[in-house]
Amino acid sequence: NFSCRRRKSWVRFPQNKLQKTMPLLLRGARMLATRGTRFLQSRGYADEMKLTFAAANQVFYDDLEVRQIDVPTFSGSFGILPKHVPTLAVLQPGVVQVYEKDGASKKFFVSSGTVTVNNDSSVQVLAEEAHPLESLDASACREILQASQQQLSSAQNDVAKAEAAIAVETAEALVKAVQ
C-alpha cells in the first residue's frame, strides 16, 4: 500500500489501484502533448510584421510594416522577424534598429522601455525616451557622461548613488551608440 498524509487523516492507495491509474495518466499526458503540438502547428502566424514604436516625446512608427527589428534587452540583444515567438522583454539603454520593407535601416537610441511581440507578429516598442541616432551630437553625449559620472562621485546616500549609477549606465550606452 502507498500512503500519503492529507490534513489530519491518512489516505491509503492500494498498489493495484495505482497500477490501474498510471496508464490513464500517461494516456492523458500523451493526448495533451499531441493536441498541444497540433495547436502550435496550426497557429496563425503572419508573414508580415507591423511595428508600433513610440516614446513619450514622439511616435516613430504607427502600425507600419517592417522586415526586422533589433532590440537591446536586459536578457541580451535579439532580432525580431515575422513569425517570431510571442515575447515580452524590458529594453536596456541602447540602439533599436529597424529594417524597413524598402531595405532602409533606421537606428534609434532608447533609454529604457518594453518590447512586446504578439501572436499576429505585431510588435510594440514603448520607450521611456527615444531619439534617432542622426539627431544626437557626440560631444553633447560625452558631456552628459561626464556630468553623470560627477553626479555619481558626489552622491551622498544610497538612493542618489543608485540614480546616478543608472544615469552613468545610460550615458555610457549613449556615447557608445554615437561612436
**pLDDT tens profile 120-166:** 889 999 999 999 999 988 999 899 999 999 998 988 999 989 988 99
Q: Which of 83, 178, 66 is nearest to 133 (CA)?
A: 178
Q: Which of 75, 118, 112, 120 is nearest to 96 (CA)?
A: 112
Per-residue pLDDT of the chain (179 residues; tens, 9 = 90+): 455 554 444 455 555 555 566 666 667 667 666 666 555 554 555 578 899 999 988 999 998 999 999 999 998 999 999 888 988 999 999 999 999 998 899 999 999 999 999 988 899 999 999 999 999 889 998 999 999 999 989 889 999 899 889 998 989 998 898 88
The pLDDT of residue 1 = 47
The pLDDT of residue 121 = 86
- For 32, the grid coordinates are 495533451
Fold entry, domain 49-134: ATP Synthase; domain 1 (2.60.15)
d(CA 163, CA 172): 14
